[in-house]
Amino acid sequence: MVRPKHPCKKDCPGRNAECHCKCEQWLEYEEKKLQFYKEKREELYLNVRPYDQVAKNMNRMAKFGKKGTYPTMKGE
């Protein structure tokens, strides 16, 4: 998974105000960029451990001083 390169250059002859809706290179880049973000999001969700959210909630409750709670990350 490699982030796509931006196609616009400062000296592009077709550069104008409507470039992002008409330029074929830009539209191709947008498709690749959206695919990159989709793959990145899927990879992130596959690597999330289910107990991470439990540990976050325990730390949050301990931070606000809820009775019977303790921080989980300290001393590990």
Q: pTM for this one?
A: 0.55
pLDDT attached to residue 66:
61
Q: What residue type is assigned to position 43 of the chain?
A: E
pLDDT value, residue 73: 55
Residues 25-69 pLDDT 10s: 889 999 999 999 998 888 877 766 666 777 777 777 777 666 655
Chain-centroid distance of CA 11 in Å reads 31
- Which residues are CB-contacts of 71 (< 8 A; sequence separation ≥ 6)? 58, 59, 62, 63
Q: DSSP for the chain?
A: --PPPP---TT-TT-STTHHHH-HHHHHHHHHHHHHHHHHHHHHHHH--THHHHHHHHHHHHHTT-TT---SSTT-
